[in-house]
Chains A and B, each alone.
Chain A
């Protein structure tokens, strides 16, 4: 069945550093791919998504490209801010439910 493997954290960066959080998947066909984010004390919310191969999702300066050749959907941001500190989850649909990665905790130092 479909599965997702996500870079383990925690990840600590300085403000304005470049961010990459790796996500690779195994899937039948080409399902939509998602990144969700959970800010401290808040519920999860969709950060971005891509609905087909080669699509790029983007939001709040974050980007992720649906790469079928490498079965990856890595999350990137060119210059992180303290406010980006959160837990990030990669996700894709399984047979009857969304499959979430284990989450990557990101902390940004001022």
Chain B
């Protein structure tokens, strides 16, 4: 079946612009996650959606970052007024149940802020 998909695969933007990154999770998965992976670094947790519960936003680095999940499916991560330090690969994952279940990752969106 279809895996997690993300778009765009690459995004180059200018400092100060807003960007939107999209994630389509595996159908039927109730949990969705966003992570950030900077060059040569590990994974940094950003946000976790579980069903209809309020999302865990504890990993968002600043108020310039926000995310939505519409209809319990597609999610959009928005970064406002991008900065060069936002340059990274943004990974989305989904899981059937809670965060303790196996997570299935998308290929990521590589964001470059000039």
Contact residues of A with B, CB < 8 Å? 31-32, 34, 36, 42-46, 49, 89, 93, 96-98, 100-103
Contacts and interface: CB of A to CB of B under 8 A. Distances in A.
Given A43-B4, A96-B48, A97-B48, A102 B41 contact: yes
Interface stretch (B10-18, B62-70, B72-80, B100-108): B100-108
Contacts, number: 50
- Interface residue tally on B, bucketed by range: 20 to 34
Contact of A96 (B56, B103, B105): B56
B108 to A, nearest CB: 6
A71 to B, nearest CB: 18
A44 B59 CA distance: 19
A54 B107 CA distance: 33
Contact of B105 (A31, A43, A49, A102): A43
Interface of B: 4, 33, 41-43, 45, 48, 56, 58-59, 91, 93, 99-100, 102-108
Top 4 closest pairs, chain A to chain B, by CB: A43-B105, A102-B42, A44-B105, A100-B43
A11 B97 CA distance: 34
